[in-house]
Structure 1
């Protein structure tokens, strides 16, 4: 199940459509759908999470906490809508595409993909692009 929670921001549109899209992504990756909580928030809220749990003192667009067991995909995914809007403007992308990229990115991490090396980043970006095209 996909759940959405909001901290200091307004809800996003098309929650059900996005949930179905994320579920399809998980199944397409050969995994099972567990419980995924998207906590959508502002920059300051996510900065506090970053400091408290990861000891990082910088802004980010997403932080994923992995609770997966085997093929069962579960986790908490914190997303800064403020950062997504800023990145969309900087990258000259549609806000909806940037939001979907970040939502997919978090779940792809839960599915086992990383983005530490250039090769991992390339694979992650290709996966994001592929799934954005399926939205």
Structure 2
């Protein structure tokens, strides 16, 4: 299994300077996932405008204002998770597969085109306002790619359960972000 980045672009216009974004964000996803010990899963990235992210912020957070990035984790934080495997019309968990293997029973086949019938885990969705990203790049005096990378890694860490509600949480999360960005060559 592997990590996959899926794209949704809700914007009407795309600039020529964005051609390198897919490879940049795939590299950042790989770096951030490696740092978090995540070997597989799917992250969906939506690029939108200020009004699009404002609507999401209003709907899901009750805040009627534009923001730069939103994250919608699909994992339940803190709960023990079992990988879901599908075999024909019923579901089994990894525990069932391990028990079957221990008893030399036949394990589900890979009819779905995935390893041993495994369905890849949806890690969550990240939504970035591209106009806000550009504004912040100018405000902070660095490249659009650096700001895009910062927002993407920030969003990914939220998918992994990190938050910045306290000073201690913020220091830990931002240190992880900066380490990933540095490994990708996106320093300030």
> How many positions carry a matched residue from both structures?
135
Shift of 1:84: 0.8
Residue aligning to 1:106: 155
Out of 5, 9, 30, which is 1:6 matched to? 9
**CA distance in 2: counterparts of 1:33 and 1:134, whole angstroms:** 20
Correspondent of 1:65 among 64, 72, 78: 72
**1:24, 1:133 → 2: CA distance?**
10
Alpha-carbon distance in 2 for matches of 1:116, 1:32: 27
Instruction: Go from structure 1 to structure 2 and tell me whether the alpha carbon gap of 1:114 and 1:73 turns closer, same or farther (over 3 Å shift).
Output: farther
Deviation of 1:73 after TM superposition, in Å, equals: 6.1
Q: TM-score, normalised by structure 2?
A: 0.66
> Which residue does 1:27 correspond to in 2?
34
- Cα separation, partners in 2 of 1:17 and 1:30, compared to 1, 3 Å: same
Correspondence for 2:124 among 67, 75, 100? 75
Question: Equivalent residue of 1:131, what SS?
Answer: helix
Offset of 1:111 from its aligned partner?
1.5
If the length of structure 1 is used for normalisation, what is the TM-score? 0.90
Structure 2 alignment gaps of length 5 or more: 83-120
Bigger radius of gyration among the two: 2
Structure 1 unaligned spans of 5+: none
Q: How far apart, CA to CA, are the structure 1 residues paired with 2:75 and 2:36?
A: 14
1:57-116 Cα offsets, whole Å, 9 max, x none, are: 111001111102649561011100111111111111221111100000000111121111
User: Which one scores higher on RCO, CA 8 angstroms, separation ≥ 6?
Assistant: 2
Separation in structure 1 between the aligned mates of residue 68 and residue 28 of structure 2, nearest angstrom:
20
3-state SS, counterpart of residue 74 of structure 1: strand
CA RMSD of aligned residues (A): 1.9
**Match in the other structure for 2:183:** 134
